[in-house]
Copies of this chain bind each other. A is one copy, B any other.
Amino acid sequence: MANPTQPLPNQWNEMWLVAFGAVPGALVRWQVQNDLLVNVIGAAILGLVVGLPFRPSRQLLLGVGFCGSLTTFSSWMVECSTLISQGAWLSALGLIGLTMGLGLGVAALGFLIGWQFRPSGLGR
């Protein structure tokens, strides 16, 4: 398996990129302490990263690693199910609607902006 001209197999390099992106993503999420904010910002950045003509290594570092760890589904779900269990249906629905609406919107917008920078972009 080992190739003397390549000290680490591809899979290892990719693992490091995901891990290096994940640590700052998780730390920023932990410091910000606001799921709506990190989710919306992360969805916008990921849309942009996917749209831009980035090479796969940057997509792994910024997309899978950073944005994947910056945004979270689990604590948003725990927050919403706690609200529902307390009978605060309207707050839960509002939080779900706001997060989903903004998330879908900024992901699409980020992608469209990134796509403009491709040689074969929509704007050309």
- Residues of chain A at the chain B interface (Cβ within 8 Å): 14-15, 18-19, 21-23, 25-27, 29-30, 39, 42-43, 45-47, 50, 60, 63-65, 67-78, 80-82, 84-85, 96, 99-100, 103-104, 106-108, 111
Contacts and interface: CB of A to CB of B under 8 A. Distances in A.
Given A43-B73, A77-B106, A84-B108, 18 more contacts: A19-B26, A22-B27, A22-B69, A23-B23, A43-B74, A43-B77, A46-B75, A50-B78, A64-B75, A67-B74, A67-B75, A69-B69, A73-B73, A73-B99, A77-B103, A77-B104, A80-B104, A96-B100
Determine chain A's interface SS by DSSP, over half rule. helix
Q: How many copies does the complex hold?
A: 2
